[in-house]
Amino acid sequence: MAEILKHAVPRAEVTASLDQVRATVSDVIADVRERGDAAVREYSEKFDDWSPESFRLSEAEVAAIVAAVPAQVIEDIRFVQEQVRAFARRQLDSLGEFEVETLPGVRLGQKHLPVRAAGAYVPGGRYPLTASAHMTIVTAKVAGVPRVVACTPPIRGEIPAATVAAMHLAGADEIWLLGGVQAVAAMAVGTDTMRPVNLIAGPGNAYVAEAKRQLFGEIGIDLFAGPTEILVLADEHADPFVCAVDLLSQAEHGPDSPAVLITTSRAVAERTVAEVERLLPGLPTRDFAGPAWRDHGQVHVVDSIDELYALADEFAFEHVEVLTAEPRLALERMTQYGALFLGEGTCVSFGDKVIGTNHVLPTLGAARYTGGLWVGKYLRTVTYQEVTDTGSQALLGRLCGRASRVELFEGHARSGDVRAARAAGDALPWNTA
C-alpha cells in the first residue's frame, strides 16, 4: 500500500485558476476572428511589447539573424535536427500504403497524405526553446507538409536568434515573430497577412494550450497539452542525487510543472527530498522550479515493484524515468505514458533536447488515449475503392440493398440496386419511368 510523503496542492485550486484562462483565450480568439491583423498587433503590443512593421521575417532578415548565431550553436542545431529527422523517417517508413483485391475486381487501397499547411508553435516567453522547432518543423517536413508556418514570441523585446536559426534550418516556409494566443488564433483562422493552416503543433503555456483546445475541430492539433510532467520510478538501487537532479530538470519548465517520485525505498524517498531542498537554492531557475516542487511535487513510497508500476500507470505522465535495477521491465509492465527513459544513463532532458525522439508529449492524463507528436500526426490516412467486375458489382449491389433497407435507408438501397441492375439485369421495381 502506497505511503505519500509529499502531497501536491488540491486539484480544485488548479481547476479554479483555469477558468480565467479559458475566458481570456475565448475573448482573444473572437477578437482575432473579427478584426484580424489589427487585433493580433494589439495583443502582441499588450502581452509582448512587440509591434514591428511586419511580424513575418523576410528571407534577408532570416539570413542576417542566422549569420549572427555562433558557429557551435548552428553545428549543434544541425546535429540534433538530424537525429530528429532520422527517427521521423523511420516512423514514416513504418507506415504502409497498400492496395488489395478483396473480391474479383474489388480493389481497396490506403494512402497517407500530408496536410497542406501546418503551424508550428515554438514557445519562447521564458526561454529560447530551439528544441521545439526541431520537433514540430522537422517532423512536419519529413511527413511531406508543403507549407509550414512557424511562430515564436520575442523574448523580453529581443529576437530569439537561435530559435529563428533552428526554424530556418528545420525547413520552415514562413517565420513569424509572434507568440501567445494571438499567434495560435492567427494561424488557425487566418488574417489579411497570414493564410490559415490545417493543423497546429507545439507546446506552450496554459493560454496557448487552451487556445489549441478551443480551436480544435476548426483545425487539427497535435494533442491537448498542459504543464510538463516528470515521473521518476526508483528502487533501492537508485541514486537519490540523480533522482533529485532529474526531478528539478523538469520542474524548471514552470511553476505548475508536476515532478513526482515513486519508489520502493523509503530511504531513497527521504534522501531525494533532502537533495531537492539542498539543490534548489543554487538552481538559477529556482523561481520556477521552487514553486513547482512546493505545489506540485509528490513523493510516494510503495511496497513492491509491481505496485510501483501499477501506480505509475495511474499517473499516465508524459515523461517516465525508470531508475531501477531492471529498467526495461517497464516496457512490459507499463501501458500509459508519453515516453519512457530507461536507466540512469538516459535522462528526460535527452528526450527534450538531443536524442531524436519527439518531446511534444501528452500531459494531464492524455497518455491514456494518445501518444505524442510524430510524423503520422501530419498525415491523413485516406482510402479508395474500385469495383470493376460485374459479378462483384451485382453481389455488392444486392447486399447493399438488403442491408440499407434493414436500416430504412431507401436511398442507399436504390444506389445499390442500380449497380445490380447494370451488372446483372436485376429489376428496379421502384423505378416507374
Contact assessment for residue 372 and residue 338, using Cβ atoms and an 8 Å cutoff: yes
Contacts of 403 (CB under 8 A, 6+ apart): none
Cα gap 427→393, rounded to integer Å: 15
Q: Of residues 253, 300, 319, 359, which has the active-site annotation?
A: 319
Query: Which three-class secondary structure state does DSSP give residue 284?
Result: coil
321 has catalytic annotation: no
- The CA–CA distances, whole Å, from 159 to 62, 66, 69, 142, 155 equal 11, 11, 12, 27, 7
Identify the bridge partners of residue 147 per DSSP, sorted by sequence position. 117
Cα dihedral sign, 192-195-197-202: negative
Cα gap 10→341, rounded to integer Å: 28
Q: Which helix (H) or strand (E) is 279 found in, with range? A: helix 266-279
318 has catalytic annotation: yes
Q: Of residues 174, 210, 318, 321, which has the active-site annotation?
A: 318
Contact assessment for residue 55 and residue 63, using Cβ atoms and an 8 Å cutoff: no
* Alpha carbon distance, N-terminus to C-terminus of the chain: 77
- Going along 50-187, which residue ranges are E strands? 98-103, 106-114, 117-121, 147-152, 174-177
Biggest CA pair distance of the chain: 89
Using DSSP bridges, classify how beta strands 339-342 and 319-323 pair: parallel, antiparallel or unpaired: parallel
Cell 500530408 -> residue: 114
Contacts of 349 (CB under 8 A, 6+ apart): 246, 249
C-alpha cell at 227: 504543464
Q: Which residue type sits at 57?
A: L
Q: Which residue type sits at 349?
A: S
Name the residue among 362, 338, 414, 379 with its Cα closest to residue 110.
Answer: 379
List the catalytic residues.
Answer: 318-319
